[in-house]
Chains A and B, each alone.
Chain A
Amino acid sequence: MTALTRQQEQGATTPEQAPLLDVRDLRVHFPTADGVVRSVDGVSFSVAKGETLSIVGESGSGKSVTAQAILGLHRRGRGVVSGQIMLDGTDLMTIDDESMRRLRGDHVAMVFQDPLSAFHPYYRIGSQIVEAIHSHRQISGESARTLAVEMLDMVGIPNPKARFDQYPHEFSGGMRQRAMIAMALVNEPKLLIADEPTTALDVTVQAQILSLMRDLQTELGTANIVITHDLGVVANIADRVMIMYAGKVAETGSVGEIFAAPEHPYTWGLLGSAPRLDLPRLERLAAIPGSPPSLINVPPGCSFHPRCAFRDDRLGCGSTVPELKASTGTHPVRCHLPGDRRRVLFADPADPADPADAPGDSGDSGGLGDPDGDPADLGGVGGLGDDGPGGVGGSSIATLSITASAEPGAAVDATPLLRVTNLQKYYPQYTRKLLRRAAPPVRAVDGITFDVRAGETLGLVGESGCGKSTAGRAMLRLLEPTGGTVEFKGEDITRLDGQRLRRLRRHMQMVFQDPFGSLNGRQTVGAIIATPFKIQGISPEGGIRHAVRELMDRVGLNPEHYNRFPHEFSGGQRQRVGVARAIALKPDLIVCDEPVSALDASIQAQVINLLKDLQEESGVAYVFIAHDLSVVRHIADRIAVMYLGRVMEEAPWDVLCERPLHPYTHALLSAVPIPDPEHEARRERILLSRDLPSPQNPPSGCVFRTRCLEARERCAAEVPERRELRPGHFVACHFPHEATAVLTGRP
């Protein structure tokens, strides 16, 4: 392999200690009509050869802008860049454009978030890779092609010779990202920057890509910068971590330090606000209040202080910008709190904002992914292990069976609020031949059955294209179902006429995914929240306006803001408006369609907490649709897993997450990254091969069989029935089995 030889040469000629990339006091400012946007404001870091640095932050933290500055992509833009960027001894700030161009794609390469828009739609994948080669090397078209095909093969694209001549839109999302990586690595760069490389992908595909990136790094010895907002991805892939907030570095350290002993309150917040699959379920997530600041008017002092629960103005949190410095020599933190106090605060189990109140110790520490970690330190602060009472493993099965049997028992007498029976939603298709003839329909939802009882939460999870959103809309008859029945309080709503259906709608509501699109930008939020009253012709006690203000108060919005327009609110606030509108008429059921997936992690937690609080107060039932299993596990009483329009498995949340029986659930669970580097290193993933089949032409028998590791002949011949294998645990599989190892990584 040429890549290896080149790496060896480099290793021989340059000293190992000198960092490959050294960034000092980088600033990227964008002048706008409203003021200067300080996207990156004094960021310093370095990356050693062969290591992976992960830059973590919410949207607007400056992480992507930093990456683009390294590649000199601001040179033609409006951004004003200052500071120093040294790559392997070359000062990237002073070299001319042509020299910069020569470095781009050759010494530093980049992988972008959305591989569909990052590839040029008009050119074949192969020719785009060849273009990358020819921009730096004078080799024949034939050898460039050979090299490109080799590279496609290396990133695991089957049949690379044929794929070379295909267009980007003929690739699936995962394959496209593989090709993107191939294009980035084809010139064997010393540094690979991946900007949210897996954010646009499904979790099972994400697992594939992450494992590919790790393998390639081992093989080629490339240094990586992985930009992400997902701490699970960080734990999976990073050696060192840099947390960014509002254009500045909040803290930086080895992956072990950051996860085991984070010192910045913002990092605590990030860790606490993401629900975790591996830890006992918390009542509430430790959300960070507020939202990230505008980069034009960054708060004085520590830019995090308005959201910080531990701010202390005596220390100057609100007045002086803290320096980035290591308090006790472990890792640099930008915080005024004294180092010892930080460590105490983080370890204090009484603190609700503390994610470390997980009991237990780190178990078998010294895992593969934690080269710098200090086992003693980990134990001391209550490492994020999972051997506690609520944890998983052999010992917990007994506990689980009790919960599992108790749940349905309690609800046996209750008639379900919503009974969905064999619900189908097909979209007719037509051939594109000379005459338009009916083609097989797209089976978006193909016969799903479940109950939702009053006051409970049913989580509906699945990857994109599994039909979960369609199902949510069909069960409210926002989409006309093709077949099946939906009984709401015993009444089949699929047969209701328009008038009665409209009246019934007050009892069943919806919260939407897109906080921008779901609110009419022409109306004030007051008018938006008042819409349900007006449409249903209901006058609440004390008048509509009073009711609206009360609702705003309940969802945590300032009632004084009822005259404002949606565009003046942040994403999280807008989502609160959507929630207020949904609860206005005190419905019995709310279908939440990916209500938090468009939000930043810290904001997600706020909205999830709000939804939970509202349920406790009013006893509303939720159908919670999401792709993120950890979020669903946090909020749902029962979870149904969908795949290609069908429900594969349905069970109480703990049973489904800890004793799943369906191979697809196993794969899904094993793919969810967990923000714990040790845990990540231990886990063995079930990597699904192949792509999702087309819902227009689903596989015969069990739809999952083409990707299932357990598939046998019977699976192709016979559609598996939905069977209740344990009380309340329904599985549609011919060969259900337990696989506890998928989550813990233990045999």
Chain B
Amino acid sequence: MVFFVIRRLLAIGVMLVVTSVVTFLLFFAAPTDPAALTCGRECTPDLIDANRHAMGLDKPIHVQYGDFVKGLFAGRDFPDDPVQKAQAPETIVHCEAPCLGYSFLRQAPVTELVTQALPVTVSLAAGAFVLWMLIGVLAGCVAALYKGRWLDRLIVGGALLGYSLPTFFIGLLLLTFVSIRWAILPIPSYTPFLDNPLQWAAGLVMPWTALAVVFAAAYVRLTRAYMIESLSEDYVRTARAKGVREPRVIVKHGLRVALTPIVTMAGLDLGGLLGGMVVTEQVFGFNGLGKLAVQSVTNVDLPTIVAVVLVAAAAYTIANLVVDILYGVIDPRVRLK
């Protein structure tokens, strides 16, 4: 098990390097001039050149990548130019480790932007995750237990409907009707959890619901399928044959096995969400990573886009690792191999 974790950790490290290289190539080696995109509408050729130099884009791509990695671990200066440093230290912007880059449009280190956005995204993702897992797994189990009867059909039909509605559509419907027209729930807003937990939750209920509807739908289907499979296994029959009480048969013998693939999926989905919920944050106006990405795209703020993509890819990759390890924890057959 220990060797397994170490090997996975190494693999994840390699994956992260490769992912960052790919991102770099995608954005910086694209046949467009990133520097030309640094200053929006007030661009002059001089400003573009200055920014190109400041961002280090005048260096070869592999040097740029090296600088980026150096920035991550040791911090870096923009522009990283010894001459300028000596002559006009006040024009140098220092970016502390872990430095994901510097947004010239926003005049701020990207790391700072990301760390500001992260709590919002995490709050959104965590609440929605809890909600959809509860609803999805519970409803999926019920559907599996009532397989073929009207309750099952109702749940499966509802799930398919929810699964077919795009997030932004659900979000906007909720926002328009529940919040604005009928004023049942307050207009969503973000309050840091530590400031006021109640307000934090109240402001997040609606985006949680919107996200949870789509995901819960998927998990109902998943749970139902795995529960049906698991409940038809021989070991469930054995448990019944030895007189185990039915609730225990369902939960300990059926659900436990069905949960293995569900946990895997859920981990990956959560990892994906932590990279930013572009649509949800946009719909409800939450300044999370997703909204940061949308804004950066609209303003063509390249360093921020790259950083957000990297963070998202890293979140997914790390979720992958966690899931792999969890798999070993859940299933002794994996652990002991």
Binding site for B on A (CB under 8 A): 68, 71, 73, 97, 101-106, 109-110, 112, 114, 117-122, 131-132, 135-136, 167, 169-170, 183-184, 432-434
Q: Is the CB of B241 within 8 A of A122?
A: no
Tell whether A121 pairs with B244 under 8 Å between CB atoms, given A112-B234, A432-B3, A434-B6.
Answer: no
Which of B235, B243, B257, B336 lies in contact with A103, CB distance below 8 A?
B243
**How many angstroms from the CA of A384 to the CA of B236 in the assembled complex?**
43
**How many angstroms from the CA of A432 to the CA of B6 in the assembled complex?**
12
**How many angstroms from the CA of A121 to the CA of B333 in the assembled complex?**
7
| Chain A nearest CB, measured from B329 CB (Å) | 11
Instruction: Show 10 A/B contacts (Cβ-Cβ < 8 Å), sorted by A.
Output: A71-B241, A73-B240, A101-B243, A101-B246, A110-B238, A112-B238, A119-B235, A119-B238, A120-B238, A120-B239
Q: CB-nearest residue of chain B relative to A170?
A: B336
Tell whether A105 pairs with B333 under 8 Å between CB atoms, given A120-B253, A434-B3, A434-B6.
Answer: no
Residue B59, interface by CB 8 Å: no
Q: Is the CB of B234 within 8 A of A114?
A: yes
Q: Is the CB of B336 within 8 A of A106?
A: no
Tell whether A118 pairs with B234 under 8 Å between CB atoms, given A73-B240, A433-B3.
Answer: yes
Q: Is the CB of B243 within 8 A of A102?
A: yes
Q: When A and B form their complex, what is the total count of cross-chain residue pairs whose Cβ atoms lie within 8 Å?
A: 84
Produce 1/0 per residue, B221-252, CB < 8 A to A. Answer: 00000000000011101111111111000000
Residue B181, interface by CB 8 Å: no
Residue B331, interface by CB 8 Å: yes
Q: Which residues of A contact B330 (CB under 8 A)?
A: 122
Produce 1/0 per residue, B181-220, CB < 8 A to A. Answer: 0000000000000000000000000000000000000000
Which of A112, A132, A432 lies in contact with B243, CB distance below 8 A?
A132
With an 8 Å Cβ cutoff, the count of chain B residues facing the other chain is 26
Which of B243, B245, B256 lies in contact with A122, CB distance below 8 A?
B256
Q: Is the CB of B242 within 8 A of A121?
A: no
**How many angstroms from the CA of A68 to the CA of B331 in the assembled complex?**
29
Q: CB-nearest residue of chain B relative to A98?
A: B245
Q: Is the CB of A105 within 8 A of B337?
A: no
Q: CB-nearest residue of chain A relative to B243?
A: A105
Q: Is the CB of A118 within 8 A of B3?
A: no
Which of A112, A132, A434 lies in contact with B237, CB distance below 8 A?
A112
Closest 7 CB pairs of A and B: A105-B243, A105-B242, A117-B234, A104-B243, A132-B242, A120-B235, A110-B241
Q: Is the CB of A118 within 8 A of B7?
A: no
Tell whether A432 pairs with B234 under 8 Å between CB atoms, given A103-B243, A184-B242.
Answer: no
Q: CB-nearest residue of chain B relative to A71?
A: B241
Q: Which residues of A contact B89 (CB under 8 A)?
A: none
**How many angstroms from the CA of A420 to the CA of B336 in the assembled complex?**
39
Residue B332, interface by CB 8 Å: yes
Q: Which residues of A contact B237 (CB under 8 A)?
A: 68, 73, 112, 118
Q: Is the CB of A183 within 8 A of B242?
A: yes
**How many angstroms from the CA of A432 to the CA of B4 in the assembled complex?**
8
Q: Is the CB of A105 within 8 A of B332?
A: no
* B308-337 with Cβ < 8 A to chain A: 330-333, 336-337
Q: CB-nearest residue of chain B relative to A97?
A: B246
Q: Is the CB of A121 within 8 A of B243?
A: no
Q: Is the CB of B242 within 8 A of A104?
A: yes
Tell whether A131 pairs with B242 under 8 Å between CB atoms, given A432-B3, A432-B337.
Answer: yes
Q: Which residues of B contact A122 (CB under 8 A)?
A: 256-257, 330-332
Q: Which residues of B contact A434 (CB under 8 A)?
A: 3, 6-7
**How many angstroms from the CA of A68 to the CA of B7 in the assembled complex?**
47
Q: Which residues of B contact A103 (CB under 8 A)?
A: 243
Q: Which residues of A contact B7 (CB under 8 A)?
A: 434
The listed residue with most A CB atoms (<10 A of its CB), out of B7, B238, B239, B253, is: B238
Q: Which residues of B contact A121 (CB under 8 A)?
A: 235, 257, 331-333
Q: Which residues of A contact B240 (CB under 8 A)?
A: 71, 73, 101, 104
Given A117-B235, A122-B257, 18 other A-B residues pairs in contact with their CB atoms under 8 A: A71-B241, A101-B244, A101-B245, A104-B242, A105-B242, A112-B234, A118-B238, A119-B235, A120-B235, A121-B257, A121-B332, A122-B331, A131-B244, A132-B243, A136-B243, A167-B336, A170-B336, A183-B242
| Chain A nearest CB, measured from B91 CB (Å) | 49
Which of B4, B234, B245 lies in contact with A135, CB distance below 8 A?
B245
Q: Is the CB of B242 within 8 A of A135?
A: yes
**How many angstroms from the CA of A569 to the CA of B116 in the assembled complex?**
67
The listed residue with most A CB atoms (<10 A of its CB), out of B233, B244, B245, is: B244
Q: Which residues of A contact B235 (CB under 8 A)?
A: 117-121
Q: Is the CB of A135 within 8 A of B336?
A: no
Q: CB-nearest residue of chain A relative to B241?
A: A110
Q: Which residues of A contact B256 (CB under 8 A)?
A: 122
| Chain B nearest CB, measured from A81 CB (Å) | 15
**How many angstroms from the CA of A105 to the CA of B239 in the assembled complex?**
9
| Chain B nearest CB, measured from A435 CB (Å) | 9
Q: Which residues of A contact B6 (CB under 8 A)?
A: 434
Tell whether A117 pairs with B233 under 8 Å between CB atoms, given A102-B243, A105-B243.
Answer: yes
| Chain B nearest CB, measured from A70 CB (Å) | 10
**How many angstroms from the CA of A747 to the CA of B239 in the assembled complex?**
46
Q: Which residues of A contact B332 (CB under 8 A)?
A: 121-122, 167, 169
**How many angstroms from the CA of A120 to the CA of B240 in the assembled complex?**
12
Produce 1/0 per residue, B292-305, CB < 8 A to A. Answer: 00000000000000
Q: Is the CB of B245 within 8 A of A105?
A: no
The listed residue with most B CB atoms (<10 A of its CB), out of A122, A135, A432, is: A122
Q: Which residues of A contact B331 (CB under 8 A)?
A: 121-122
**How many angstroms from the CA of A432 to the CA of B337 in the assembled complex?**
8
Q: Which residues of B contact A97 (CB under 8 A)?
A: 246
Q: Which residues of B contact A106 (CB under 8 A)?
A: 243
Q: Which residues of A contact B238 (CB under 8 A)?
A: 110, 112, 118-120
**How many angstroms from the CA of A434 to the CA of B5 in the assembled complex?**
9
The listed residue with most B CB atoms (<10 A of its CB), out of A102, A120, A131, is: A120
**How many angstroms from the CA of A105 to the CA of B244 in the assembled complex?**
8
**How many angstroms from the CA of A117 to the CA of B232 in the assembled complex?**
11
Tell whether A104 pairs with B245 under 8 Å between CB atoms, given A121-B333, A122-B330, A432-B3.
Answer: no
Produce 1/0 per residue, B1-37, CB < 8 A to A. Answer: 0011011000000000000000000000000000000
Q: Which residues of B contact A73 (CB under 8 A)?
A: 237, 240-241
**How many angstroms from the CA of A119 to the CA of B6 in the assembled complex?**
31
Q: CB-nearest residue of chain B relative to A193?
A: B241
**How many angstroms from the CA of A131 to the CA of B6 in the assembled complex?**
36
Q: Which residues of A contact B333 (CB under 8 A)?
A: 121, 167, 169
| Chain A nearest CB, measured from B262 CB (Å) | 14
Q: CB-nearest residue of chain B relative to A134?
A: B244
**How many angstroms from the CA of A136 to the CA of B244 in the assembled complex?**
8
**How many angstroms from the CA of A132 to the CA of B3 in the assembled complex?**
36
Q: CB-nearest residue of chain A relative to B244?
A: A135
| Chain B nearest CB, measured from A103 CB (Å) | 7
Q: Which residues of B contact A104 (CB under 8 A)?
A: 240-243
| Chain B nearest CB, measured from A101 CB (Å) | 5
Q: Which residues of A contact B244 (CB under 8 A)?
A: 101, 105, 131-132, 135
| Chain B nearest CB, measured from A162 CB (Å) | 15
